[in-house]
Structure 1
C-alpha cells in the first residue's frame, strides 16, 4: 500500500469535490446559480445511510463562521507568549486583543450580510459572537438549501439514531473566501454514549465508539477497604486495582503542596452527552477519599451552555449517565482542591434521542458551541486549566469544521488557558473499524479529534508503577489502550518537528502507509488511566480511560499554576511549545508498552517522546524546582 500522504488525501478530496459539484447540476429542484462554487464536501461515513429528503419545514440552527482576518497574526502571538525562549513568554493577550485579531474584515462582514439579506434573512434574526466572527440564525431547511445550493437529507445511523445533514454545500463566489465554515452541514461526529454499563456483558453486538468516555474495567470489584495511607511512599499508598486521589497525589508529588492562590486560580472540565456532575455522588467520593473537601461537592460552580443538563437533586441513574462527569469532578477536586472547579455542561446533542424528522432538534455541534461560549467570556471568568474527556474519529468531522473549532482553541491559548484533551481509549483505532471514509475501503490508523488540534495538549494513559502504557480488558469485550496517532487534517506543528521526526525514523518503516508521518502527532503527555474507583448512583464502580488521565494531568498543572500565580507570575497557558523545547526534561519517561489497535500492536513506547505516552508523566516538585517556586 502506498503511504497515506497529505497530497494523496488532498487529491482524493478534490476528486470527490469534483464529483459532488457535477452532481449538483442534475440533483433536483433546488434553484441552481451560475456563480456558486463548492465550499466543502465530506461524504457520509459507512455507518450512516440516507433515508430520504429532510422536511422543508425542519428548522436548522445555522452557525456561520466568517474568515478571521488576522488569524496568522493571532497564531504568531500564541507561539510567542508560549515560547520560553521568546521575550514575550507569559505575556498573554486579553479578550479584547484577541477579538481585535480575529474579527472579520469590513469587506467580509458586508459581503456575508448581503448574502443573507438576498435570501430574506432579517438582520434582527442574527446573533453574533463578541468578535463578530460567528453568526447564528435559525432557518427552515428549504431556505438553507437554497442559500447553500444543496439538499439536506435524513440520515440513519446503524444504531438507530438519525440526523439531518448534507454531504456538501456551495457558496456564491462573492462570499466564498469570507466564510470558513457553515454548520450543521457535513460534520458527522456525534458525542455518542456507550452501551448501558449494566448491559455490556450480556450484549454481543459491539457498537463503535465515537467518543472518549470512561470505560468499565472487566471483572473489577472495589477492595473491601482502601485505608488512608500511614506514610507517603508510593508502595504504601497505591493499590493499582483502585487508584485513589491519595495515590495520584503521591505519584505526581502534589500530596504535600499547599494551595495559595485559590481566589485567583481556577480549573475546569467539560461535560456533554447530557451528563451532569452529580453532587451527591461526588460528596460520597470526597468523604471517602478527600474528607476535607466533602462540603465542596455542593459548592463548585456548574454552568449550563445551550441547555446542558445540571444536577437538580433529582437526577435518575440512567444507562450509566453521569459516570464520566462524576469521574472528572471527583478526581479534579480530589487532586486539585481547594483550587476552585467549574463544570461546563454543554447541550446540543442528545445521544439517546431518535428525533422525529418533523420535529426541530438542536443541531449545534457541542465543541463549537462550547468554544464560542468560552471565547466570549471576559478574562476574569476564564479558568487557567480546562480538561475535556470527549472526542471523535477525526474523519467523522469535516476538515473545515475541525479547523474552525481548533482556531477557537488557539484564541483560548493566547489568553493563557491550558487545554487538555483525552487522547482516546483504543490506541491507533478500534479493531475492525479502521477504514477511510474517502473510499470506504482503504485501511488506515484512525486519528481522533479534537486531540489532533495542534493548539491543545493531548493526554495519554499509563498504568502501574513504574508506569507503563495502559492496557486493560473492558467489560464490553474490547481492550483499552492509550489513544495514539497522527492527524490527517492538521500538519505537524513546528514545535514537534525534530522530536517527532526522530521517533518516526526510529520505527524503521513500521506501519508505513497506515498513518500520515507529516501530521500533528499525539499524545503530548500522559497520566495514570486505570482503575479509578468512582462513585456513581451511590455505589463504587471501576472506570478506566484517558477520561481519567486528562483531568488528573489538568489538576496537577492547576496546582503548578497556583504556585506561579501566588508569586505574581503568569499561568503556563498553551503548554506545547514549552513542553517540546524544554519542559519534557521535567517529565517521567514511560518506556514500556504499546498503543495497539486496528488489529495491530500499534506504536511502541520509546525513550523520550513516543506516540503512546508522549513525554510521560508530570511530577510537581520537579516543575516547581525548575521554575524556582516554593511548595
Structure 2
C-alpha cells in the first residue's frame, strides 16, 4: 500500500508538472499551440571575455541558418576512410560534388517537418534558401521577437572590447525536431577565429619604393646575411640549408632547400591550385605580395597579379595601404604572410584566396547593431561546398579555444571538412601559438585546471601543422620575447580517430603519466606534422617584418602539399585529398623527425617532442622527394618503428 502511494504521488506530480510546462509553452508564445512541448536543444555558456548586456533591441533582425540532420553522413565517413587508406580498392577515388551532396542530403520528411514548423510561426517559407545539398535552410531576416519565439530563448547584446554581437546561451526546439535539426546559428557561438601569427621583436624598417635585395636582407637579419650571395632566380642545384638559411630571417630559398622542393619543376600548374582563407577583416594586398616575391622569389613576382580573390559575406578586397586603425590592429599582416609564403614555396601553382566577412565595426548605440550574424567558418563552408571546382589544398591560419565553441557548431564545421576531404581537398590548419595553453585560459568550463585544446585543429578531418625553428637540429618553435610556443594537445570534443591509435598510444605510454588528468588521452591528438614557424619574413604595408606562428607553418606545409599534388596530377593520378590515414599508415617516413623541445604552457613543461609521433611536432617536417615518391604508391608496408607493445 505504501509503495503504491509513493508511485501514485510521483505520477500525479509529474502529470501536474507536465501540464504546467505545456500550458506555459502554449500561452507564453502565441502561435506555438501545435508545438507546445519544447525542450532544451543546446546550452553553451559565453566565454568570460564576452560581457552580456541588455536584451537585444526589438528592431534587430537575424537571418537564421538551420543545419538539418544529414541523412547518410556515416556512409560518407566510411567512404572517406576507404578513399584515404592506402591499399584499399577505392584509394584516392575521390567523390564528385553530386555524390557527396547525395550522401548528406536530408530526407524530404525532415525538410517538410522543418518547413511546417517555420510556417506555423508565419515565417514566409517561399523565401527560404537552401544549400545545394539541402542540408542548410537559410531564413529571410526575421525580427528578434520572432526568433526568440521560434527557439524559446532570449537574445542579449554581448560586448568584447569594441566588438558587439547579438547571441544567446541556450535555445530549444519542439521535441519532434530534436533529431532533425543539428544546429541553428547565430545562437550560442562566440567564435572569433583570430589569426595565429605573432610579430617578432625585431627591427622593422621601411622598404624603398624599388627595394634592393641586399638592403632588405641586411635590414631584417640580425645574423650573417647570406641572401645577397645567391642568385635567387637561378639558385645552384647543390644548395644546402646551411648555405640557404638565415634563421634570423627565414625566406623562401631557405624553405625550398630545407624541404627539398628547390630543384622541382612544376609540371601541371594549369591543372592544380592551392588556396588560403582570410577571416576577421584580413586581406591579401597585391603590391605587398609582389614586393615580397620580387625580393625573395623574383621569377614568381608576376603571380602577385594573377592569383584569384573571392570575397564572401561582405569581405572587402582592399588593395590600398592599410589605414592607421588597421595598422594598430595588425590587420592585413596575416593575409599577406599566408599568400607570400604559399607563393614563395608553391609557385607556379595557382593561388586562390577566400576572404570571408569583415571585422564588425565598433558598436554605435544610436544605430542598429552591425549586420554580422553568421559565424565565419559556416559562411565559407556554405560557399565552398556549393562550388563544383575546388583547390587541391586549403590552408587556414585562424583558430579559437575549443571549449568556447559550441559542440554542435564544432561538429558541423568538422563534418563539412570531411566533405571537402571526400572530394579530394587536403585541409590544413596551424596547431596554435600558446603551447598547451595561455595560463589565463588553462581550465575547463567548470573551472578545473586543464590544458586547452584549439579548434579547428582538433578536428580529425584536417591536418594540423606545428611550428619548428632552427636547422640541424630542428626543434619545437618558441620565442621567449613574445610568448610564442608552438601548440599541440588533445581534443575534448572529438574522439581519437582509429588512424592515430598506434602512434598516439605509443606516445602516451612513453609519457609515463606526465600531465595525467590535464588532458583527454582519448581525444583526437594534434599536430600531425610540422614546418618552420619562427622569424618568417613577410612584407606588410610596404614594411619588411619577421613573424612567428603556426599561421606561417600551415601555408608553408600546404605549399609543399600543392607541389606533391602537382607531381601526382602530372602522372595522371588524383591529388592527396584527406591526408591523415595515409600519413599515419606509412607516409610518416617522408618526414624528418623532430625530437627536441616541448609545447610548454599552462605553467607546465607541456608535451615533449620524442622520436616518432608526438604532441609537439607530430611526425616532423616534410622532405619533398620522399613525400612525392611515397604519395605516388598505392600501398606500402605498415611499419611503426617507435611502437612499444
**TM, length-normalised to structure 2:** 0.87
Per the alignment, residue 466 of structure 2 pairs with 460
CA contact (8 A) 2:587 2:630 kept: no
Question: Superposition pairs for residues 241-260 of structure 1, below 5 Å?
Answer: 241-260=248-267
Q: 2:107 aligns with which of 96, 105, 108?
A: 105
Query: Aligned-pair distance for 1:160?
Result: 4.3
Query: Aligned-pair distance for 1:355?
Result: 5.7
Note if 1:215 corresponds to 2:198.
Answer: yes
Query: Aligned-pair distance for 1:124?
Result: 2.7
Query: Aligned-pair distance for 1:308?
Result: 1.4
Per the alignment, residue 15 of structure 1 pairs with none
Q: Which structure 2 residue ranges, 5 or more long, are not aligned?
A: 1-19, 205-219, 634-645
Which protein has greater RCO, CA pairs closer than 8 Å, 6+ apart?
1
Give, in whole Å, the separation in 1 of the partners of 2:341 and 2:89. Answer: 36
Per the alignment, residue 484 of structure 1 pairs with 488
Question: Superposition pairs for residues 422-461 of structure 1, below 5 Å?
Answer: 422-437=430-445, 439=446, 441-461=447-467
Per the alignment, residue 63 of structure 1 pairs with 65
Question: Superposition pairs for residues 38-57 of structure 1, below 5 Å?
Answer: 38-57=40-59
RMSD: 2.0
Query: Aligned-pair distance for 1:30?
Result: 5.4
SS of equivalent residue, structure 2 residue 341: helix
Question: Superposition pairs for residues 201-240 of structure 1, below 5 Å?
Answer: 211-220=194-203, 222-223=220-221, 226-227=227-228, 229=230, 231=236, 232-240=239-247
Question: Superposition pairs for residues 9-158 of structure 1, below 5 Å?
Answer: 34-137=36-139, 138-157=141-160
Give, in whole Å, the separation in 2 of the partners of 1:572 and 1:355. Answer: 48
Per the alignment, residue 18 of structure 1 pairs with none
Larger Rg: 2
Per the alignment, residue 502 of structure 1 pairs with 506
Query: Aligned-pair distance for 1:214?
Result: 1.2
Per the alignment, residue 532 of structure 1 pairs with 536
CA contact (8 A) 2:199 2:548 kept: yes
Question: Superposition pairs for residues 218-617 of structure 1, below 5 Å?
Answer: 218-220=201-203, 222-223=220-221, 226-227=227-228, 229=230, 231=236, 232-313=239-320, 315-316=322-323, 318=326, 319=328, 320-347=330-357, 350=359, 353-354=362-363, 356=365, 358-378=368-388, 381-437=389-445, 439=446, 441-465=447-471, 466-474=473-481, 478-617=482-621
Give, in whole Å, the separation in 1 of the partners of 2:310 and 2:163. Answer: 28
Give, in whole Å, the separation in 2 of the partners of 1:79 and 1:355. Answer: 49
SS of equivalent residue, structure 2 residue 301: helix
Query: Aligned-pair distance for 1:156?
Result: 2.4
CA contact (8 A) 1:304 1:344 kept: yes
Give, in whole Å, the separation in 1 of the partners of 2:198 and 2:574. Answer: 36
Per the alignment, residue 8 of structure 1 pairs with none
CA contact (8 A) 2:287 2:319 kept: no
Q: Which structure 1 residue ranges, 5 or more long, are not aligned?
A: 1-20, 192-210
Give, in whole Å, the separation in 1 of the partners of 2:169 and 2:287. Answer: 44
SS of equivalent residue, structure 2 residue 464: strand
CA contact (8 A) 2:195 2:334 kept: no
SS of equivalent residue, structure 1 residue 563: helix
CA contact (8 A) 1:385 1:418 kept: yes
Give, in whole Å, the separation in 2 of the partners of 1:256 and 1:38. Answer: 59
SS of equivalent residue, structure 1 residue 344: strand
SS of equivalent residue, structure 2 residue 265: coil
Query: Aligned-pair distance for 1:161?
Result: 2.8
Per the alignment, residue 161 of structure 1 pairs with 163
Give, in whole Å, the separation in 2 of the partners of 1:30 and 1:252. Answer: 62
| 1:489–1:269 Cα change, 3 Å | same
Give, in whole Å, the separation in 2 of the partners of 1:360 and 1:592. Answer: 47
CA contact (8 A) 1:495 1:580 kept: yes
CA contact (8 A) 1:212 1:424 kept: no
SS of equivalent residue, structure 2 residue 288: helix
Query: Aligned-pair distance for 1:29?
Result: 6.2
| 1:386–1:355 Cα change, 3 Å | farther
CA contact (8 A) 1:458 1:523 kept: yes
SS of equivalent residue, structure 1 residue 509: coil
CA contact (8 A) 2:430 2:553 kept: yes
Query: Aligned-pair distance for 1:575?
Result: 0.2
Query: Aligned-pair distance for 1:365?
Result: 0.4
Query: Aligned-pair distance for 1:353?
Result: 3.0
